[in-house]
A and B are shown apart, each in its own frame.
Chain A
């Protein structure tokens, strides 16, 4: 049992994080053309709405919820000190979970039933979607069965994750967790591990910078004033489109 726990909570996280880091950087640098969200809306637009929108908004809220609980456990704990606020947090998180689950489910159905979408579906797409579906399902199970997750996450998972990131893994507390939670945690790391091998990389390039860049974009192949100035004949900075 110890061996398994060691593997799931020490080895797997480090393998996953290493592969994720090296893999995504390599992919971003090396195979840029393949870095895309691979949207399939162009082939089928209606059913996508009922899958993509609830899934993405659901999973985004949940992701940032987990992140907040990990980074600011005290904030969550003090928020949860009042039962009403705890209920609000738990119930709304659960609703977003349902939304993500329903979304992912309809995306999978769409993938398997629409002949056009099937053509552009890769094995990795199916694998990762299935894993996400199972992961969300386990997440909901955990939330329903082992209340109140938002509180014990802050006191159990946050220290554990911190210990992982500070290279001093403490797994006593997580090892004693029920197996449902253990699966949820290990699946999470497995998904992180798979990110560089799937279309999930698109979440790393979410175009937030669009908000502050000017609308129009002009790229000059060479600096048109410098090129005519005899003093700066050689300039070895590569232009952006070259």
Chain B
């Protein structure tokens, strides 16, 4: 057992309001530079939708991630041989138009235009060429399902949905969607690291943050192809690739990453998880329907005596173990089992987990059944479609999940490699928590039924309360449990602190020693 610690993240999708504050916080700190204008290390996309870059999930186009080959795995579009052969021209590299051409407006026109008959306008100007452009796409062009059906219908996750289900979704385009905030997953089996010919990308041993050494990157741009989440970006101006650094300077000083700190919906959690690094290869090569389970099984219980002992032996600091025990991410992912990784079938073992959203799934649209209720409705509500209705009745406990208005297969394609059972289990748990809380606060439900609900999903009343607390009431320190970085120890490995004695400050780089 090779116990390592990983700073991992959890996003609670039910809570995301799609405000993009996270993206802006990140952009203002890290990517507000020439060549990086088009990069959104943190982006929020509307689902169903094609995302950023367009259709990034479709690996038939982008060839990212790993695929199974024999007993092991290999990179799909890069790797030692393919990478070196294609180094002069990478056939799978997205171009900037797959993201969008960044632009600004020529605001000075508004002020400086001479007196004329027409209103002066601020024309859009490309941030690459500085010339006027016709804007064809931009970040979140399909936000809130705008641009649909053109955009939503191209969503790769619609695969495996029956035509009827797809049609149902397109009816829903008018009313149901959710937001998917994405950052780099700081994977355990990162494809970006594996694909980098010059070895510029590495995973930090202590906290698992994946970084690109800007001094070693030589613009071979294989990581852009290899990352199936398209979270490694090429800076066209500096000729170096860049990616989310999980705000490591902030994490090292105990502050939450900017996107998480600023999150308006408070959907974001960050904490340490201990895992067994010996099992990475085995887990990444698991059968597709076993991928999620094996990934979850390599995350270790931080309360287990053996795990603690091996962690200590491996040099994991006591404070890190303590942080792992308090980790909110561990609770969501392992203890309660209500979170899943995004697209586990890419086999990079992403360490950013999502609580799938219940709200768009709930409230089935039932046909005909609702005829009589329909008559009671306001005429405006009827405009949708006469036979469909937004049904929030909780009479039948799981009924609403079973004929969910948002096909579970769609969620499953995103979060569990197509396995609907997993998503359904989580939906039921989330629902059970709500039923339990309703019983507690309103008390209008049948007690027996409430008990049965919790039993059905294997939750105790206490855990349900804990889930409720961490979901809805958690304070800053509950959401972000950041281990100390131990730089104070690190420095002794890096330099002899005594060296600096006798140096004067203020501009002396050279030690003021007697000349020769």
Contacts and interface: CB of A to CB of B under 8 A. Distances in A.
Interface of A: 32-33, 35-45, 48-49, 52-53, 55-57, 115-116, 118-120, 202, 205, 207-211, 213, 215-228, 233-239, 241-242
A39 B83 CA distance: 15
Interface stretch (B125-133, B382-390, B465-473): B125-133
Nearest to A39: B219
Given A41-B90, A42-B221, A217 B205 contact: no
Contact of A56 (B88, B190, B194): B88
Contacts of B492: 222, 227, 233-235
A211 B234 contact: no
Interface string B276-314: 000010000000000000000000000000000000001
14 contacts: A32-B215, A33-B240, A37-B219, A41-B95, A44-B95, A53-B88, A207-B87, A207-B199, A215-B75, A217-B199, A217-B203, A222-B494, A227-B493, A235-B492
A239 B493 contact: yes
B315 interface: yes
B202 A219 contact: yes
Contact of A39 (B220, B280, B489, B495): B220
Interface residues of B, number: 61
Contacts of A209: 199
Given A207-B197, A217-B203, A241-B202, A41 B489 contact: no
Interface string B485-496: 011011011111
A241 B88 contact: no
A41 B93 contact: yes
A226 B493 contact: yes
A99 to B, nearest CB: 12
A219 B90 CA distance: 28
B236 A40 contact: yes
B229 to A, nearest CB: 17
A204 B246 CA distance: 32
Given A52-B89, A209-B199, A222 B489 contact: yes
B198 interface: yes
Chain A interface SS verdict (over half):
loop
Of the listed residues A216, A234, A239, the one surrounded by the most CB atoms of chain B closer than 10 A to its CB is A216
B194 A216 contact: yes
A38 B221 CA distance: 10
A219 B203 contact: yes
Contacts of B493: 221-223, 226-227, 235, 237, 239
A205 B220 CA distance: 11
B236 A42 contact: yes
A239 B494 contact: yes
Interface string B113-147: 00000000000000011110000000000000000
B239 A37 contact: yes
Nearest to A219: B202
B206 A221 contact: yes
